[in-house]
Structure 1
């Protein structure tokens, strides 16, 4: 049996989508079947054995599509392994230390009995949508702070956990 994993994400300018796609690519390489989809487009998680949910951080809150996804699918998510990630700091801090989840993500973790959470650096580049994004860029604080080696390592730990669960007969 192949373990099927959904990587759902909430993003405004595409940075979090690229993180989710990287997670799905690594899971595929590790022998799982994974797909990355915008959280707002997912109508059911029933056909997935595990789910990873990611959301960009905006003013201390997880992206609304990620929040709504977790609320909408709470019962089904609680019945399978779930991991969460956030993306957002526009500096190297996420690669230098563990950044705790924002309060809304902490609540989601508790409700879903999530396997874990990680915060990755964000990316904000010219052409980004939104008034606040444009203000940040004008102030010179944009850039790409995503650490793809760290993202890939994290995805490999998820694959290892899921593979162990399959061997143990839990999935």
Structure 2
């Protein structure tokens, strides 16, 4: 029976959801049962064999829904394989170097013994919600800085690890 993996995410404008969908897609290609779901819509993580949680970064903080998910389901998460990701830098920095997790996520990684955390580039497009997002776009600093090759390689590593043991 294939291991069941939850990829939960917190997003405001959909960019982190697209990353979560890509991760779940690769895990399915690896032979696992995987689904991407909005963190706020997950009632329990108990039925999953492993969990990946992603949150968009906003002003140096992980998305509220991702933080709440980790707090609400902490006991369930601590008992199974867990990976975390962040998305957000609106430049090429996430592709050029390893960006450590923001402090709250760093504490969650340690507390829950997460197997890995990675920061991916973010995406901010015209029509994004929020005053700050509109200001960033007005200043010409939006764009799509996600590296789906890197995202897919990271997800494939998770798949291999889950299949091997």
TM-score w.r.t. the length of structure 2 is: 0.99
Q: Write out per-residue CA displacement over residues 81-123 of structure 1, whole angstroms, 9 at most, x where no aligned residue.
A: 0000000000011011100000000011011100000000000
Note the 1:1-171 alignment, pairs <5 A: 1-165=1-165
In the TM superposition, what whole-angstrom CA distance separates every residue of 1:14-61 from its partner, at most 9, and x where no partner exists? 000000000000000000000000000000001100000000000110
Q: State the 4+ residue runs in structure 1 displaced beyond 3 angstroms.
A: none
Local SS of the residue matching 1:101: coil
**What CA RMSD, in Å, does the superposition of the two structures yield over aligned residues?**
0.4
Aligned length: 165
SS at match of 1:55: strand
- Pairwise CA distance, 1:5: 0.1
CA distance in 2, matches of 1:106, 1:149: 25
Partner of 1:168: none
Q: Alpha-carbon deviation of 1:68?
A: 0.1
> Structure 1: where are the runs of 5+ without partners?
166-171
